[in-house]
Amino acid sequence: PITVPVLLIHGGGDDEERMLAATSHEGIHRLPEGSVLEVFPEAPHDMHAVWPQVTEKLVIWFRKHLG
């Protein structure tokens, strides 16, 4: 079982990402408290369009949870 908070990152810029984000939204309550779903509405599956923003979210998350 997962015992630490999880950061889920999805885009919303294509059908695949919208489906994955919806699935994560439905299931996030099953993850440990403090888990977060972050959706970048303009990002397709490859995330290239928002890579700097994704990287920033990851750095903040790791600093908070590993620092």
* Tens-place pLDDT, residues 9-60: 999 999 999 999 999 999 999 999 999 999 999 999 899 989 999 999 999 9
Q: Is 0.85 surpassed by the pTM of this model?
A: yes
SS3 letters across the chain = CCCCCCEEEEECCCHHHHHHHHHHHHHHHHCCCCCEEEEECCCCCCCHHHHHHHHHHHHHHHHHHHC
